Amino acid sequence: MTSKLCLCFVVVTACAVDAPSDTRVQDIAGVHASIRRDALGADLAHYQIDVRIGAAPNAVLRLHRVVRELAPWQPRPTARGALLLHGDFSTFVTNFLPQLGEPASPVRGLAPYLADRDVDVWGLDRRWTLPAADGDISDFGDMGVAQELADIERALAIAHAVHGSRLALVGFSHGGQLAYTYAAVEGARPPGQRHVDALVPIDVYAEIAPADADLRAGACDAAVFERELVASGTTDAPNDFLIAAGTLAAEAPDADSPLIPGMTNRAVMLLTLGQTFQFVAFAPFYHLAAPVLDGDTAIGLREMSEQAANAWLAGATPHQSMREAADFDTLWCGEAPLPVTASLANIRVPVWLLGAAGGFGEQALFTLTRVGSSDVGSLVVQRFGPERRAEDFGHADLLFATDAPALAWQPLVTWLLHH
């Protein structure tokens, strides 16, 4: 394994002086790439790896790697490899390495936590994360699930070649829906063409239970609406509201909000994160962050700091693909024409669901009954009984809560190292 790592990253002398950031152009796993290295302290480093894969403006495979090093630019061999897929309005950095986000978060992140514990952490940014607010989005019409599955396969092939063995595929939120779908597609291929040996969906479902017919109907209605938007030429789903909500709450929390009249900037942030079901209802009382409630009003955050919450929202990507949104909802709806057809029964690798009682929660468990694996487990982080679901551990608390390392990350790394 060490020899493969040395082939893929330029070898420097052991006396090389570490630097906070450095960029090089070189080959990795047989492809030409621009690689930036960021020192994270101690022997930990973050690599951002950009590989051009087409002529379209955003046809770039942006990979990330967080790993311990023997020396700068010399990753240390590890016991386990994992590829992490981010969720909506986010990137690998803002979901899993938020200390490097813009603005920076006080949360160090899941990626360095795993890397410190002998996991070779990789990640992939979806293409809509790449353009700036005024960037070229002319290729957004092609950014659907089929394209994303092809990019995931490319990313896994590189990570597999460098790490030296198959990886666990870990996906948060819609990244978890992609992970399920990719594992179902790959599971139908011959063993020699597979890169994944374990699957960890984080608080998401790939199929909605018959008992939750109202949730499925909502996905079907959303899919029709979104497909009509794409057909009419609307390919971008901008995140202006989220960026403003986080920025204003950080800069002027008590000022009147320009986003929702009659509310302060802080109150808008608390509503957006603490009572998300008022905007999107993926599950009963679905929320991104556990709120402190006064009656029916969110007056604080129970699990994550407001600084972390504001940084996450303010650091949202300017753009997001409308076609991707339509594809996701179409897959949840389950009615043709589907963007990709792959049976969850094809998934025969070990599967472990990490959920949040106030996020997708128990609604996410049904998908586990649909996979073909005989090694299936789950952990739903829960503080209260079902009568207090509206204020229980939230979807993004799994990434940003003060107690996330103890309640979610340690069980995750334990499972990964045993699978």
Task: Specify burial of residue 232 (Cβ count, 10 A radius: 0-12, 13-18, 19+).
Answer: exposed
Secondary structure of 51-111 as H, E, C letters: EECCCCCCCEEEEEEEEEEEECCEECCCCEEEEEECCCCCCHHHHHCHHHCCCCCCCCCHH
Task: Specify burial of residue 206 (Cβ count, 10 A radius: 0-12, 13-18, 19+).
Answer: buried
Q: Give every CB contact of residue 230 below 8 A, 6+ residues apart in sequence.
A: 141, 322, 323, 326
Q: State CA 228 to chain mean position distance.
A: 27
pLDDT at 96: 99
Q: Give every CB contact of residue 112 below 8 A, 6+ residues apart in sequence.
A: 40, 44, 66, 97, 99, 121
257 to each of 253, 277, 314, 391, how far by Cα in Å?
Answer: 9, 20, 15, 24
Tell me the pLDDT tens digit for each residue of 396-418: 999 999 999 999 999 999 999 99
Determine if the peptide bond prior to 337 is cis (ω within 30°): yes
Residue 28 tokens read as 């990795």
- Alpha-carbon distance of 381 to 398, in angstroms, equals 8
Tell me the pLDDT tens digit for each residue of 290-316: 999 999 999 999 999 999 999 999 999
Tell me the pLDDT tens digit for each residue of 21-46: 799 999 999 999 999 999 999 999 99
Neighbouring CB atoms inside 10 A of 25's CB total 9
Confidence of residue 57 (pLDDT cuts 50, 70, 90): very high
Tell me the pLDDT tens digit for each residue of 226-249: 999 999 999 999 999 999 999 999
* 2-211+343-417 homologous superfamily: Alpha/Beta hydrolase fold, catalytic domain (3.40.50.1820)
Q: Kindly tell me if the per-residue pLDDT of 2 is higher than 70.
A: no
Residue 86, CB-side half-sphere exposure with 13 Å CA sphere: 28
pLDDT at 19: 63
- Alpha-carbon distance of 375 to 387, in angstroms, equals 31
Confidence of residue 389 (pLDDT cuts 50, 70, 90): very high
Provide the residue count of the chain: 419
Residue 120 tokens read as 């070779």
39 membership: H or E segment, kind and range: strand 31-41
First vs last Cα of the chain: how many Å apart? 19
Q: What is the DSSP letter of 236?
A: B
Find the mean pLDDT for residues 119-138: 98
Q: Kindly tell me if the per-residue pLDDT of 343 is higher than 90.
A: yes
- Domain locations in the chain? 2-211+343-417
- Alpha-carbon distance of 297 to 146, in angstroms, equals 40
Q: Could you give the angle at the alpha carbon of 189 between the alpha carbons of 188 and 192, nearest 5°?
A: 145
| DSSP code string of 202-233 | ES--SS--GGGHHHHHHHHHHHHHHHHHHHTT
- Alpha-carbon distance of 25 to 334, in angstroms, equals 44
pLDDT at 393: 98
pLDDT at 18: 57
- Are residues 49 and 35 in contact, defined by beta-carbon separation less than 8 angstroms? yes
Tell me the pLDDT tens digit for each residue of 166-178: 999 999 999 999 9
Confidence of residue 13 (pLDDT cuts 50, 70, 90): very low
Q: What is the DSSP letter of 268?
A: H
- Alpha-carbon distance of 171 to 84, in angstroms, equals 6
- Are residues 298 and 270 in contact, defined by beta-carbon separation less than 8 angstroms? yes
Nearest 5°: phi and psi at 119? -110, 130
